[in-house]
């Protein structure tokens, strides 16, 4: 039973409002003693011309309670609803077992496409710790949207265009060695790139050479393109190894260069629709009416900019995927850029401009300030992943020396810790990367959630658990009820995470389940002497490990059965 919908339907008759609207009004009280659902009466005060506490009292008396709801009580300006605990246990556990790995899923997406632009690494630059948030936020959203019936399209919009590639060619020709770079990969490319920026301070003419080489790339020069493609192959080979470690894949690697022949359409349309203006030699779209600086489409030398490419990419994605939403998982420093070109698409007359969404997140910096490839002060993501796995392996070897396949579990836990660290808080928060805090496994961490899953699996193994009939009346104690409430809240958390594009809401739902289960584990004897009690508690343990595994899977973390 969907208790929220049942309560909303019961409220519809005395309030005269549609149940669908009332369902959104229902809240979850902060503590269990205040009920399972709360209906705020403040929004009714103006129309009914009564004080909220009076409205709450009248509603509590007038309601015909649906099955499974034990009572309704007025409390201040709220009506608090208390569920029958055995009915709640039956409803939640029955759904968990019936839906299996699809628990919390939905067909609300109707198969519609959602494009998710994330990670978007730069060619010839290291895949560093600053790329972790966009990578794991985008990957989590990819899974969450799929779980809710959408068809996610993961796009890695490669940074593979711009004058920096002219700089790379100049640097390679002056200080690089083909065999050394072939062996050393991106690390060796970065070395010559860093040297370029050191040398250009005393030799500005290098920038002229760089611009000339990039012009040769634009013009299709064979030598320039051969070097450009080589840099690209080296970078992709390295970053794909990291993606494999993280369990992440993309459906498209169409980067900036892919849209070279697609920007003419943008310029032509803007010109035809009288949106382009000449400003100091540049072609712009004036956004002063919207309190934004102009969006530059063409520089005075005729070169395109990021906005031109992003508009071209959006048009291509709409034509190709007919998306319901197109998400851009990019740091909040680019907020103005996205607001500008989103507005340009709207001014072009495309009503789907409203479906372009900037999923912003906080920046990752080092303890000594912002990371910079030019200065060579990057923390490579591969190094962090390796360190996390190594530390986890040492802990496992010390605390669980007899554990089989320690290396695999160390990898699952170490990588899970890093992903969890990026997804535990709201995405807009800035993060200072610090080795000690990232690799700290204490508290509400990924390893804690994984260990809770492993603990539940261990209980079931030792009990030789097999599904059987459940007496749900045996799951009405406060500890079991708390676990059931947390399990029941999980589907709404997944929907909330999708609607707000906030994966951390799934992470917090997992922690709520883990905290409730661990208290249940310590306060109640699962292997009770009474067979009926034992079977019910084992079923609850089974449901718990299933939902934790689903939740971890949605955010891209493995759920080991032994730790």
pLDDT at position 130 is 84
CA dist 382 and 239 (Å) reads 9
pLDDT at position 213 is 92
Spatial CA neighbour of 154 closest among 308, 311, 326, 306:
326
Q: What would the mean pLDDT of 113-122 be, rounded to a whole number?
A: 95
Say what percent of the chain tops pLDDT 90. Answer: 80
Q: What would the mean pLDDT of 311-328 be, rounded to a whole number?
A: 98
List, for residues 512-537, the tens digit of each pLDDT value. Answer: 999 999 999 999 999 999 999 999 99
Mean pLDDT score of the chain: 92
Residue 368 pLDDT greater than 80, yes or no: no
Q: What would the mean pLDDT of 159-178 be, rounded to a whole number?
A: 92
List, for residues 140-150, the tens digit of each pLDDT value. Answer: 999 999 999 99
Residue labelled with tokens 């934004």: 292
Judge contact between 534 and 528, C-beta under 8 A.
yes
Strands 113-117 and 325-329: parallel
Residue 89 token pair:
């246990």
Q: What would the mean pLDDT of 451-477 be, rounded to a whole number?
A: 96
**pLDDT band at residue 376 using 50, 70 and 90 as cut-offs:** low
CA dist 483 and 514 (Å) reads 8
Say what percent of the chain tops pLDDT 70. Answer: 96
Task: Please report how the helices 504-523 and 446-463 are oriented relative to each other, as an axis angle in degrees rounded to 10.
Answer: 40
List, for residues 406-431, the tens digit of each pLDDT value. Answer: 999 999 999 999 999 899 989 888 87
pLDDT at position 377 is 53
Comparing 91-100, 122-131, 218-227, 277-286, which segment has the lowest mean pLDDT?
122-131
List, for residues 331-349, the tens digit of each pLDDT value. Answer: 999 999 999 999 999 999 9
Domains and CATH numbers, the chain: 3-83 (3.30.1360.70), 113-261+307-365 (3.40.50.620), 381-554 (1.10.730.10)
Residue 370 pLDDT greater than 60, yes or no: no
pLDDT at position 431 is 75
CA geometry: angle at 45 spanning 41 and 50, to 5°? Answer: 110
């Amino acid at each position: 039973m969907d208790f929220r919908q049942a309560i909303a339907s019961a409220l519809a008759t005395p309030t005269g409002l549609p149940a669908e609207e009332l369902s959104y009004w229902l809240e979850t009280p902060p503590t269990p003693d205040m009920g399972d659902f709360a209906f705020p009466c403040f929004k009714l005060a103006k129309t009914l011309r009564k004080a909220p506490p009076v409205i709450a009292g009248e509603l509590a008396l007038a309601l015909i309670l649906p099955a499974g709801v034990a009572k309704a009580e007025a409390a201040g300006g709220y009506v608090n609803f208390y569920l029958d605990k055995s009915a709640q246990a039956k409803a939640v556990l029955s759904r968990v077992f019936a839906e299996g790995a699809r628990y919390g899923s939905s067909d609300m997406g109707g198969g519609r496409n959602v494009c998710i632009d994330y990670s978007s690494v730069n060619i010839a630059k290291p895949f560093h710790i600053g790329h972790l948030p966009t990578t794991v936020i985008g990957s989590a959203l990819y899974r969450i949207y799929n779980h809710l019936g959408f068809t996610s399209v993961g796009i890695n919009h490669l940074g593979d265009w711009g004058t920096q590639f002219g700089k790379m060619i100049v640097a390679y020709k002056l200080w690089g060695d083909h065999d050394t770079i072939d062996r050393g990969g991106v690390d060796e490319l970065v070395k010559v790139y860093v040297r370029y920026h050191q040398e250009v301070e005393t030799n500005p003419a290098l920038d002229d050479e760089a611009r000339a080489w990039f012009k040769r790339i634009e013009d299709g020069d064979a030598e320039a393109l051969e070097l450009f493609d080589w840099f690209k192959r080296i970078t992709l080979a390295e970053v794909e190894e990291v993606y494999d470690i993280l369990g992440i894949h993309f459906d498209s690697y169409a980067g900036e260069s892919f849209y070279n022949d697609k920007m003419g359409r943008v310029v032509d349309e803007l010109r035809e629709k009288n949106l382009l203006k000449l400003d100091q030699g540049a072609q712009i779209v004036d956004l002063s009416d919207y309190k934004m600086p102009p969006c530059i489409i063409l520089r005075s030398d005729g070169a395109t900019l990021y906005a031109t490419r992003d508009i071209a990419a959006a048009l291509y994605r709409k034509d190709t995927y007919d998306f319901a939403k197109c998400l851009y998982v990019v740091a909040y420093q680019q907020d103005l850029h996205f607001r500008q070109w989103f507005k340009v698409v709207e001014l072009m007359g495309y009503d789907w401009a409203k479906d372009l969404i900037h999923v912003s997140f906080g920046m990752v910096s080092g303890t000594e300030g912002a990371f910079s490839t030019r200065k060579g002060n990057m923390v490579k993501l591969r190094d962090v992943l390796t360190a996390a796995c190594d530390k986890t392996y040492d802990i496992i070897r010390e605390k669980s020396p007899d554990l089989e396949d320690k290396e695999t579990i160390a990898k699952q836990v170490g990588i899970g810790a890093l992903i969890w660290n990026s997804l535990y808080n709201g995405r807009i928060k800035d993060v200072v990367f610090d080795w000690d805090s990232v690799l700290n496994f204490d508290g509400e961490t990924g390893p804690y959630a994984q260990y809770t899953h492993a603990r539940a699996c261990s209980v079931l193994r030792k009990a030789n658990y097999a599904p059987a009939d459940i007496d749900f009346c045996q799951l009405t104690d406060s500890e079991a009820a708390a676990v059931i409430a947390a399990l029941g809240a999980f589907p709404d958390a997944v929907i909330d995470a999708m609607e707000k594009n906030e994966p951390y809401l799934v992470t917090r739902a997992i922690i709520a389940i883990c905290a409730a289960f661990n208290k249940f584990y310590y306060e109640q004897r699962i292997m009770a002497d009474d067979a009926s009690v034992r079977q019910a508690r084992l079923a609850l343990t089974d449901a718990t490990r299933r939902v934790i595994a689903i939740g971890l899977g949605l955010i891209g973390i493995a759920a080991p059965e032994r730790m």
